Amino acid sequence: MARVKPKRHGVVTDMTAMCDVAFLLLTFFILTTQFKKPDVEQIKPPSSISEKLLPDASLMTVNVTPQGKFYFQPVENGSERMQVLDNMGKKYGITFNNNEKVAFTKVQAIGVPMSQLKSYLNMPEDEQKSFKSPTGIPLDSTKKELIDWVEQSLKVNPGYKLAIKGDVSTKYPKVKDLFEGLRDIDFLKFWLITSQEGKSNE
């Protein structure tokens, strides 16, 4: 009844310090975050107990889809990518113009045979993204294009590392072909991408 407006000021705290910390952390996380690029095709890696994280230094990745198609993801570095493309072009007798080279530096992963690479690179960018290759990069006893990609990349910089990302349901013979191919070019150390045990990654 007594209209003595109680002064309720006690609970209000000075939030300046909290705000400072919050934004400091925010800046840190923004700067350190690297967004995962969308995969061309959904690949669910098998789980393992390994806690080693994938290092991102000059890494190329081979993706093996559940159907056994291969995708090759060259290193991030743009100028080195161009050299890789040049080498591959030389090997297969294809020359690429500057537009195609630029497109190649932006491409996420290649999943077409060399014969179709030129037309693939000439596609508009968003069409490229949604393009699902019916074949992938060929790899069998006669056509070892995938291995050539790895080999030519290593020629540009022998320090490249290779990671293999296979799907849970990929058939083993496909992986074996890849391993055998890599043994042929004496490239024997690489990583298998796995997800953490107990975590159903994506």
Partner 1 sequence: MAEVQVQDKGEKGGKVRSKKQSTRVDMTPMVDLGFLLITFFMFTTTFSKPNVMDLGLPAKPKDETQKPPPTEIDLTNSISLIIGKDNRIFWHQQDQAGLNDQTLNETTMDREGIRKVVEQAKARAKKQDLFTVIIKPTDDAVYKNFVDILDEMAITKNERYGVTDIKPWEKAIYEKKVGGTSAPAPTN
Sites of contact with partner 1 (CB under 8 A)? 9, 12-16, 18-19, 22-23, 25-26, 29-30, 32-36, 45-55, 64, 163, 165-176, 179, 182-184, 186, 188-196, 201
Q: Which is nearer to partner 1, 95 or 172 (CB)?
A: 172
Q: Which residues pair with 163 in a beta bridge?
A: 61, 191
CB of 41 to partner 1, least distance (A): 15
CB of 8 to partner 1, least distance (A): 10
Q: Which is nearer to partner 1, 125 or 186 (CB)?
A: 186
Q: What are phi and psi of 165, to 5 degrees?
A: -115, 110
CB of 173 to partner 1, least distance (A): 5
Distance linking the first and last C-alpha atoms of the chain: 60
For 52: left if phi > 0, alpha if psi spans -120 to 50, otherwise beta; the answer is beta
CA-CA distances (angstroms) from residue 94 to 90, 142, 150? 6, 19, 18
CB of 73 to partner 1, least distance (A): 13
Which amino acid is present at 160? Y
